[in-house]
Amino acid sequence: MEGFKIFVVPNIDGMGAKELFHVVLDAMGQLFYSISVAMGIMVTYGSYFKDDENLMKSVNRIEIFDTLVAFLAGVMIIPAVYAFLGSDGMTAGPGLMFIALPKVFEAMGPAGTWIGAAFFIMVLFAALTSSISILEAVVSGFMDKFGWSRKKAVIIETVAALVLGVIICLGYNVFYFDLTLPNGSVGQILDIFDYISNNILMPVVAISTCVLIGWIVKPKTIIDEATKNGERFGRKGMYIVMVKFIEPVLLFVLLLGSLGVWDKLLK
């Protein structure tokens, strides 16, 4: 129960304004991954919807199931890590899956071998399905822009992804080097790619999308599309205010945090 308590009960003891601010920024950044914001995935899959599809119900399902799955994952993983590794396991950060969890499975004895194998097989399939959705966004763009067939676009994109993947893997041995990133962290090739895509490109694309929808295309276009079959857009006013004013500002704050600006200002 202590591990579950650590997961659900906030603890801000010893946390100053700077640390709390970083927690908020990290939570905002997590949303990009969680619901695939600024990756083109939702736009691509949304373009495949039939005209009679209820977009509002689909959005609500995504919100509910994404939150539910994330919570259940935390309920299963965090208490287990705390039970076998104590509070030290909570500091693993991104390495939790590949550093802390293997130790948890090892501590379970013979059963841990099978549980660990099953867990990482599921992780493999989760990564595979996520890769397919990301690949589809790129493939769709190639097909629309260059008139390529799906087969040609898939082959070219897959080869490019494999080449980059091999280079990134070799970044921990053959091509190993350290580079200090603008946010103060030190990384290798994988960290550099991760930083550029997640900390710079995704916030910039998200800000550009807000400007496009909020001020050029206009929110009414989106609202009309979502309600063309008589559906009710219950948060219409909130959506307009968010996409035009609040979201661009918050995303810009997140971008500045990714560039290390807030670390310098809050020293």
Predicted pLDDT at 155 = 96
Find the mean pLDDT for residues 207-225.
Answer: 94
Predicted pLDDT at 254 = 86
> Using an 8 Å Cβ cutoff, are 168 and 190 in contact?
yes
- pLDDT tens for 115-134 read 999 999 998 898 888 888 88
Predicted pLDDT at 90 = 67
Residue type (1 letter), 79:
P
Would the pLDDT of 1 be above 80? no
Predicted pLDDT at 118 = 93
Provide the residue ranges of all domains of the chain, joining segments of one domain with +.
1-15+34-107, 179-267
Half-sphere exposure of 244 (CA within 13 A, CB side): 14
Q: What is the DSSP string of 21-43?
A: HHHHHHHHHHHHHHTTTTSSHHH
- pLDDT tens for 5-24 read 888 888 777 777 777 777 77
Between CA 143 and CA 150 the distance in angstroms is: 7
Predicted pLDDT at 87 = 72
Predicted pLDDT at 15 = 77
pLDDT class of 141 with cuts at 50, 70, 90: very high
Would the pLDDT of 69 be above 80? yes
pTM: 0.81
The single residue listed with the structure tokens 């200090």 is: 180
Would the pLDDT of 218 be above 90? yes
Burial 31-70 (b: 16+ CB within 10 A, else e): ebeeebbbbbbbebeeeeeeeeeebbeebeeeeeeeeeee
Find the mean pLDDT for residues 76-100.
Answer: 73
Contacts of 91 (CB under 8 A, 6+ apart): none
What rounded mean pLDDT belongs to the chain?
A: 86
- pLDDT tens for 146-173 read 999 999 999 999 999 999 989 988 988 8
